[in-house]
């Protein structure tokens, strides 16, 4: 009796276990089949496509992304920003591969424990004109600023390095490329500092630190630039300002040095400049400079080269500029001095002053006004001295002539000079020049011109004017 009850109880338990197993197997099969069905349309878990997570997305959406709600915020370092929406440029991605390569839905249970990154080539298309219109009008490409390199400045009595300044400048080509990369990576923002132009020189640049030491040395240099008795000194801050740090080296900036020399020329050049002159007995007159040849004229280019050469030694120097034209004298009062020859065409008279004293004066005969060979006015100079000279040329009527003189001192570059004229038989001054004048030269009595010849120096100024 007891054994029979036990047998019946065991049999009942076995039936329950069988039913439970069938139910569980059926459930698992149902879940598996449901997964197969679901993952026929949905991407498997832990699936990536070209690095992007696409698990649980509808397969059609994976390959045909809807860009309607997607945008990228473009952030500039100065706070300006804008939004870019791919749909506005008809942006599309076409994967160059079969969609079946994406997954095997029958293996979906395994996908929960594995990761797959499927690589497919992508063909991107968009409306280039619409893209260009966006780049043309976006706020983030307006008001861009270039970066500033770290540089050496003079502050509080010493040379220090001023930090570089980051800018916002970039090009539309760089922004366009960065936007396309951001889309491909599905980013929702773009930091434009990553594509901004970088300063070329930063504060920790070793060559910049070395340049600071050189600037300290420059601050102790002195260049004395002499124009006869006049001196200009280039030193201190003015000297430092013509140096520049370029290509990792501190050196004179040729353009800045040239500008410095150009300013010297503006200040001190007297060549072909109109001047006021205190005449003998007739007060002050204005003498035009356009036909003159006397004066100082700095050769800016050659002086710049000389100054740069000296500066590269980082040694103090005394320097004389290179001159295209130079006078006899220069001091703080000017370049005319107190040794000069004075000729008044109106009075037909000449004076020769040497070291402030009147050495001689004499009547002369100058260019014939009736024949259009009048002696030119201006600041001239004696640029040569010759004893015994045959003067050759054409008369106003066009005939060749050859005239011998004993003393010849040319004063301009067109053949005008001071010389003796024995054919005048001692007749000088008055109104001779109006009808029987020279061909432009200053005809001078023999003994007077001889004395001038014996006492005059090369570059002695000769001022010619009309007192009336």
> What is the DSSP track for 300-339?
HHHHHHHHHHHHTTT--EEE---EEE--S--BTTBS-TT-
Q: Are 443 and 460 in contact (CB under 8 A)?
A: no
Instruction: Judge whether 137 and 105 are in contact, CB under 8 Å.
Output: no
Alpha-carbon distance of 386 to 405, in angstroms, equals 10
- Token representation of residue 85: 């929406």
Q: Produce one character per residue of 269-283: b if its CB has 16 or more CB atoms within 10 Å, e if not.
A: bbbbbebebebeeee
Integer Cα distance of 9 and 3 in angstroms: 10
User: The tokens of 41 are what?
Assistant: 């349309």
- pLDDT number for residue 23: 86
Residue ranges covered by each domain of the chain: 19-137, 220-272+293-325, 340-465
**CA atoms in the 13 A half-sphere facing the CB of 148:** 8
Q: CA-CA distance, 439 to 414, in Å (whole number)?
A: 11
How many other C-beta atoms lie within 10 A of the C-beta of residue 61? 13
468 residues of the chain, pLDDT tens digit each:
444 445 556 777 788 888 888 888 888 888 888 878 888 888 788 878 777 787 877 777 777 777 888 999 999 999 999 999 999 999 998 877 666 656 778 888 888 888 888 787 888 899 999 999 999 999 999 999 999 988 878 787 778 889 999 999 999 999 999 999 999 888 999 999 999 999 988 998 888 888 888 888 888 899 999 999 999 999 988 898 898 877 778 889 999 999 999 999 999 999 999 999 999 999 999 999 999 999 999 999 999 999 999 999 989 999 999 999 988 889 888 888 899 999 999 999 999 999 999 999 999 999 999 999 999 999 999 999 999 999 998 888 888 999 999 999 999 999 999 999 999 999 999 999 999 999 999 999 999 999 999 999 999 999 999 999
The per-residue pLDDT for 2 is 45
Whole-number Å distance between alpha carbons of 240 and 427: 64
The string over 86-122, giving b where at least 16 C-beta atoms fall within 10 Å of a residue's C-beta and e elsewhere, is bebbebbbebeeeeeebbebeebeebeeeebebeeee
The model carries a pTM of 0.62
Beta-carbon-side half-sphere exposure of residue 438 (alpha carbons within 13 Å): 29
Q: Minimal CA–CA distance to 241: which of 257, 261, 263?
A: 257
Tell me which of 3.40.190.10, 1.10.10.10, 2.70.98.50, 3.10.20.800 is the CATH number of domain 220-272+293-325: 3.10.20.800
Helix axes 254-268, 300-311, angle to 10 degrees: 130
User: What pLDDT, on the 0 to 100 scale, is given for residue 100?
Assistant: 62
DSSP label at 139? Answer: G
Question: What's residue 102's pLDDT?
Answer: 66
Domain 340-465 matching CATH 3.30.1360.40: the answer reads no
Q: Which residues pair with 444 in a beta bridge?
A: 420
Four-residue CA torsion sign, 105, 111, 114, 116: positive
Decide: helix, strand or coil at residue 359. Answer: strand
The CA distance from 272 to 293, in Å, is 7
Phi, psi of 405 (to 5 degrees): -130, 155
How far is it, in rounded angstroms, from Cα 448 to Cα 407? 10
Judge whether 443 and 375 are in contact, CB under 8 Å. no
User: Which residues have a Cβ under 8 Å from the Cβ of 444 and sit 6 or more positions away?
Assistant: 350, 362, 364, 418, 419, 420, 421, 428, 452
Angle between helices 128-137 and 172-184 (to 10 degrees): 120
Count of other CB atoms within 10 angstroms of residue 131: 20
Going by the DSSP 8-state scheme, the letter that residue 442 receives in this structure is E
């Amino acid at each position: 009796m007891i054994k029979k009850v036990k047998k019946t109880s065991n049999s009942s338990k076995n039936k329950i276990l069988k039913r439970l197993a069938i139910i569980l197997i059926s459930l698992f099969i149902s879940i598996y089949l449901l997964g197969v069905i679901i993952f026929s349309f949905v991407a498997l878990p832990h699936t990536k496509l070209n690095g992007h997570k696409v698990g649980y997305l509808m397969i059609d959406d994976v390959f045909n992304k809807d860009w309607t709600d997607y945008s990228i915020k473009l952030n500039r370092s100065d706070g300006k920003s804008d939004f870019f929406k791919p749909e506005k440029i008809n942006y599309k991605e076409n994967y160059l591969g079969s969609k079946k390569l994406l997954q095997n839905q029958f293996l979906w249970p395994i996908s929960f424990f594995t990761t797959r990154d499927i690589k497919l080539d992508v063909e991107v298309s968009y409306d280039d004109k619409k893209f260009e219109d966006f780049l043309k009008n976006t706020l983030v490409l307006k008001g861009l600023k270039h970066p500033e390199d770290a540089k050496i400045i003079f502050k509080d009595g010493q040379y220090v390095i001023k930090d570089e300044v980051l800018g916002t400048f970039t090009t539309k080509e760089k922004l366009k490329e960065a936007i396309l990369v951001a889309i491909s990576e599905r980013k929702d923002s773009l930091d434009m500092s990553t594509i901004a132009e970088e300063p070329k020189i930063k504060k920790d640049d070793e060559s910049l630190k070395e340049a600071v030491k050189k600037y300290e040395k420059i601050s102790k240099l002195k260049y004395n630039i002499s124009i006869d008795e006049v001196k200009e000194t280039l030193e201190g801050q003015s000297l430092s300002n013509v140096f520049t740090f370029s290509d990792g080296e501190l050196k004179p900036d040729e353009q800045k040095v040239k500008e410095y020399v150009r300013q010297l020329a503006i200040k001190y050049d007297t060549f072909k400049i109109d001047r006021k002159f205190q005449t003998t007995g007739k007060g002050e007159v204005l003498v035009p400079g356009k036909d003159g040849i006397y004066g100082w004229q700095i050769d800016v280019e050659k002086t710049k080269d000389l100054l740069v050469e000296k500066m590269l030694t980082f040694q103090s120097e005394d320097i004389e500029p290179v001159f295209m034209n130079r006078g006899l004298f220069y001091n703080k009062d000017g370049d005319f001095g107190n040794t000069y020859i004075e000729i008044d065409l109106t009075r037909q008279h000449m004076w020769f002053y040497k070291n402030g004293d009147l050495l001689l004066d004499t009547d002369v005969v100058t260019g014939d006004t009736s024949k259009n060979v009048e002696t030119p006015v201006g600041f001239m100079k004696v640029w040569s001295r010759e004893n015994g000279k045959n003067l050759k040329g054409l008369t106003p009527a066009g005939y060749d002539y050859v005239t011998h003189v004993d003393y010849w001192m040319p004063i301009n570059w067109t053949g005008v000079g001071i010389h003796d004229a024995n054919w005048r038989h001692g007749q000088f001054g008055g109104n001779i020049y109006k009808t029987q004048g020279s061909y432009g030269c200053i005809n001078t009595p023999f003994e007077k011109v001889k004395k001038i010849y014996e006492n005059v120096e090369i570059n002695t100024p000769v001022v010619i004017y009309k007192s009336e």
